[in-house]
Amino acid sequence: MKKVSTWLIITGIIIILIPIAGSLYTGYQQDKLYDEYLNTQEMRSSIEDLDTAFTSVPSDSSLSEEPAKLAVPAYNPTVIGRIKIQSASINLLLVEGTTSKDLNWGAGHLTATPMPGEIGNSAIAGHRNHTFGSLFSRLGEVAIGDRITVEYNKTEYIYEAYEILTVLPDDTSVLAQTDDAAILTLITCAPKGSDTHRLIIHAKLIS
């Protein structure tokens, strides 16, 4: 009987540790990919500096051949930054695109919408995940007035949530564009564990 109890305890501990280990591994993979993104950004800057330097060389220079371009490593998904929401313990990669494959890595920018920081309505979607990683699972904890930070193109944009809605999946009015303001729309499934509706958070750029 003692052996059975011991095995039950061990089994229970393993069941508890599996999602924790999965979450840690997912976080490690995301951090690794983000480091690659930062390194790529630095490499692109170096390439631009080289291009500028070589463009300024006089046409009668002794350099008769055009310098070879440095190769920028390609990787998938396309990481474009990071999104952080302290009030909901969200710290995710921001990738370009919203396919299931993209959203398995983090939050995805809807390609047809403006980029973060630009005038218009920039939309970012994310999965709600019960097992590995948080993704947008805790997005429902965001309240009006909370800050949302988006890191993109070497710049940190800070938004403030001003509206929270629950809409049907085919309600595209939440993606309406603006001509004079930079806003952010976050999208995930609602309620948690279902896809019958969408949780929408609108935020305005404050800095």
Catalytic residues: 127, 189
**Strands 106-109 vs 90-96: parallel, antiparallel or unpaired:** parallel
For the record, the structure tokens of 187 come out as: 């999208």
Amino acid at 6: T
8 A C-beta contact, residue 203 and residue 197: no
Helix (H) or strand (E) holding 46: helix 2-55
Q: Which long-range contacts (CB under 8 A, 24 or more apart) does 100-107 make?
A: 101/77, 102/77, 103/127, 103/135, 105/29, 105/30, 105/33, 105/77, 105/79, 106/30, 106/135, 107/83, 107/135, 107/136, 107/186
